[in-house]
């Protein structure tokens, strides 16, 4: 009997997933591939980030999760974002990567409004360090350079500069 209930719950969850995918395909617009600005290959080279009167909502019918957020992060400045659950920490990253477009305001990186940059360029030039540990699948090389943009020598040089070229594997 328990097995039957478990199988029914799994089937319902699978149908719900299909229903959601169908809803997303029919009701959510694809991300725009148009752009008005393509920064040079060195962008961003300083790391100057400016949020100005940023307002963001996850859906039109919902209240803003970010409202009139303004701050400047200077190049080389180290910043920590802290707050309670629901304070908007993850929403700042969502706005920075343009996973959701802003309702108002703008975000500039090195003087360029990120709303004008193609998404593939913007997202390939930014990186974040997650707060939770992650187990990678695939090779270490693939995880360091998933688009195969760098030579092995360049990757080894980067590992050396980060002081992690030589690490001992400790097995318990």
Q: What is the residue extent of each domain of the chain?
A: 1-30, 49-125, 135-165
Q: Which residue has the tokens 């305001």?
A: 105
Angstrom distance (rounded) from CA 129 to CA 13: 31
Angstrom distance (rounded) from CA 67 to CA 83: 15
49-125: which CATH number, 3.40.50.300, 3.90.180.10, 3.30.200.20, 3.30.70.2740? Answer: 3.40.50.300
What's the predicted TM-score (pTM) here?
0.66
Q: Which residues contact 29 (CB under 8 A, 6 or more apart)?
A: none
Structure tokens of 49?
């980030």
Residue 21, classed as helix, strand or coil, is helix
What is the tens place of the pLDDT at every residue in 111-163? 999 999 998 899 989 988 777 766 678 888 888 888 899 999 999 998 888 88
Indicate the pLDDT class of residue 172, thresholds 50, 70 and 90.
Answer: very low
Give, in degrees to the nearest 5, the angle at Cα 31 between 104 and 12: 110
């Amino acid at each position: 009997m328990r097995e039957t209930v478990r199988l029914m719950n799994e089937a319902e969850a699978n149908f719900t997933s299909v229903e959601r995918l169908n809803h997303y395909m029919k009701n959510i617009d694809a991300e725009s591939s148009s752009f008005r600005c393509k920064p040079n290959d060195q962008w961003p080279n300083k790391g100057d980030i400016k949020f100005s009167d940023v307002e963001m909502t996850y859906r039109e019918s919902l209240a803003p999760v970010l409202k009139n957020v303004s701050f400047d992060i200077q190049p080389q400045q180290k910043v920590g974002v802290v707050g309670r659950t629901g304070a908007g920490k993850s929403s700042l990253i969502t706005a920075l990567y343009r996973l959701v477009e802003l309702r108002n305001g703008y975000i500039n990186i090195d003087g360029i409004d990120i709303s004008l940059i193609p998404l593939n360029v913007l997202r390939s030039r930014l990186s974040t360090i997650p707060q939770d540990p992650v187990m990678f699948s695939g090779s270490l090389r693939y995880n360091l350079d998933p688009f195969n943009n760098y030579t092995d020598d360049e990757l080894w040089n980067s590992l050396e500069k980060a002081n992690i070229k030589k690490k001992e594997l400790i097995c318990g």
